[in-house]
């Protein structure tokens, strides 16, 4: 029987809940106040754009978007020219935008934990799989494009 893995959207949802709990139960310090919370819309908008564009690229290339599944195509164009993992970056951006809106210090801790989890749980394995699958093409790509930004 194939084991079920917890996928990145579940980590994102748990992070959003953790941020809200920390903000309301242990805000520590208000570091961003109105109207300075309003620029939080920028990372939220960027998140939507990055994820939609990346998802469309996966669909167009007819390759999987799911972690740990074998990719049939290495996408190196569009948002993948800026960042090797635009969907994970997009998730970090949504957390960042919401942390700015909340304005307290503690939600920002969740962003760091989330990024580290994505690196350890998903990105390292995905990159190893892509290196095995695409060899030298992958190496050339990773020399040109950063993992996050």
- Taking only the tens place, the pLDDT of each residue in 86-107 is 999 999 999 999 999 999 999 9
Task: Give the pLDDT score at 1.
Answer: 45
Residue 146 has pLDDT above 50, yes or no: yes
Residue 74: per-residue pLDDT: 95
Predicted structure pTM score: 0.90
Q: Produce one character per residue of 38-66: b if its CB has 16 or more CB atoms within 10 Å, e if not.
A: eebeebbebbeebbeebeebbeebebeee
Q: How many CA atoms lie within 13 A of 4 on its CB side?
A: 2
pLDDT digits (tens, 9 = 90+) for 9-27: 999 999 999 999 999 999 8
Q: Give the highest mean pLDDT range of 1-10, 24-33, 139-148.
A: 139-148
pLDDT at 37: 86
Residue labelled with tokens 């903000």: 23
Average pLDDT, the chain: 92
Q: Please indicate whether residue 3 or residue 142 has the higher confidence score (pLDDT).
A: 142
Mean pLDDT of 40-51: 89
3-state secondary structure of 3: coil
17 contacts: CB under 8 Å, gap ≥ 6? none
């Amino acid at each position: 029987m194939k084991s079920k893995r917890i996928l990145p959207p579940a980590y994102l949802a748990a992070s959003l809940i953790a941020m809200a709990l920390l903000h309301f139960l242990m805000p520590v310090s208000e570091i961003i106040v109105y109207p300075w919370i309003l620029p939080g819309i920028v990372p939220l908008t960027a998140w939507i754009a990055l994820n939609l564009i990346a998802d469309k690229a996966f669909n167009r290339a007819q390759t999987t978007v799911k972690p740990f599944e074998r990719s049939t195509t290495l996408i190196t164009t569009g948002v993948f020219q800026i960042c090797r993992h635009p969907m994970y970056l997009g998730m970090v951006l949504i957390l960042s935008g919401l942390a700015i809106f909340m304005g307290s210090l503690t939600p920002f801790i969740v962003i760091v934990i989330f990024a580290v989890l994505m690196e350890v749980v998903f990105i390292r394995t995905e990159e190893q799989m892509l290196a095995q699958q695409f060899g030298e093409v992958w190496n050339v790509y990773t020399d040109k494009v950063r993992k996050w930004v």
